[in-house]
Amino acid sequence: MRGKSHRGSTIAFGEHALKSVELGKISSKQIEAARVAINRQLKRGGKLWIRIFPDYPFTKKPAETRMGKGKGNPEGWEARVKPGRILFELAGVDFMMAKEALELAARKLPVKTKIITLQQTKQS
């Protein structure tokens, strides 16, 4: 995986967003942990959009297994993320509340992110 994300790199639904700055893989459990963190911070206020989907399976061999014998069984699902990809979007909350919620979500993710707003994207 190389290059920047062209698809999914602009805010489409909300006012505030969490944008990926680096390349990486985000598991379905990490996406769910970030979603729960945002919803707890917002206390059911505002609207949340998840702009990534874990559609790539990853495999794992059992512990203490000898080499060979083929590939391991599918263990879970992950989303491949390129720089510039929007991960989460928020609407219906002020900037400070959105910033706190998105910072909490960013701590749950294995990639570096930044918070952007709709006004920033319109100016540039």
- Is residue 114 assigned to a domain? yes
Q: Record the pTM.
A: 0.87
What CATH number is given to the structural domain containing 32?
Answer: 3.90.1170.10
Of 2-6, 14-18, 101-105, 113-117, least confident by mean pLDDT is 2-6
- Is residue 9 assigned to a domain? no
pLDDT at res. 91 = 94
User: Looking at this protein, which amino acid is placed at residue 66?
Assistant: R
Confidence of residue 5 (pLDDT cuts 50, 70, 90): confident
Domain holding 106, by residue range, is 16-61+72-123
pLDDT at res. 72 = 87
> How many folded domains does the chain comprise?
1
